[in-house]
Amino acid sequence: MNEITTLATLATVHFVALMSPGPDFALVVQNATRHGRQTGLYIALGLSCGILLHSIFSLTGVSYIVHKHPMLFSLLQISGGSYLLYLGFGAIHGVWNSVTQSTPIQEKTAESVILTNKRQAFSRGFTTNILNPKALVFFVSLMSSLVPAGMSLTGKGAALIILWGLSLIWFSFLAWALSTKRLQRRLHAIAIYIDGLCGAIFTLLGGTIVWQAISAF
């Protein structure tokens, strides 16, 4: 398999994985819906930078070392799972407050730091991705199976650019599509349900990851 074919295969597999529902997808949907395009785009940038770092770690063998050391991997699982639980509980708490106080959820957006702080939006996207142990396992498997050890530095550099670029394009498109004026008017009416669903996804994934880590001890 030549390098062009390898890169094309890598891009295809990665793009299919990007479109699969998960914490990254849910994070963009939740925040682009509630806080608008700018916040969604900075979260997309944070997510794509997290993916870039995962890719670099996988190519250099750092992720493989972490994956093969149970204690290190369990610590990553607990950290990542706890962060997802934090996001989940925060979303569910916001929904609960909106219901009990009879306040439209979109009126609460001004209270959120992420709405007014680009750095916070980027940080949330980056942290959500880099602490996701499933992402670490995915990129270790992806790189070990599709990127040969003898691949040129140019080829490996192109692989990193492709993985980062596809991630940024996909998540930015998702943020843009969810923040058009027409769609925003419709989504605001069901924002509380979107928040509740995303909160449930974060909580379920985070709880599962933490449970798996604890069970491994």
Torsion-angle region of 16 (φ positive above 0: left; ψ -120 to 50: alpha; else: beta): alpha
DSSP assignment of 122-191 equals HHHHHHHHHT-HHHHHHHHHHHHHHS-TT--HHHHHHHHHHHHHHHHHHHHHHHHHHTSHHHHHHHHHTH
How large a percentage of the chain has pLDDT more than 70?
91
C-alpha 177/C-alpha 29 separation (Å) is 10
**What pLDDT, in 10s, does the model give residues 119-163?**
889 999 999 999 988 888 889 888 887 888 788 889 989 999 999
pLDDT exceeds 60 at position 7: yes
pLDDT exceeds 80 at position 182: no
C-alpha 167/C-alpha 169 separation (Å) is 6
Q: Rg of the chain's alpha carbons, rounded to an integer?
A: 18
pLDDT exceeds 50 at position 23: yes
Q: Please report, for the chain, the start and end positions of each structural domain, with discontinuous segments joined by +.
A: 35-216
**What pLDDT, in 10s, does the model give residues 53-74?**
999 999 888 888 887 888 888 8
pTM score: 0.82
pLDDT exceeds 70 at position 48: yes
Q: What pLDDT, on a 0 to 100 scale, did the predictor assign at position 116?
A: 53
- Mean pLDDT over 85-96 rounds to 84
pLDDT exceeds 50 at position 115: no
pLDDT exceeds 50 at position 51: yes
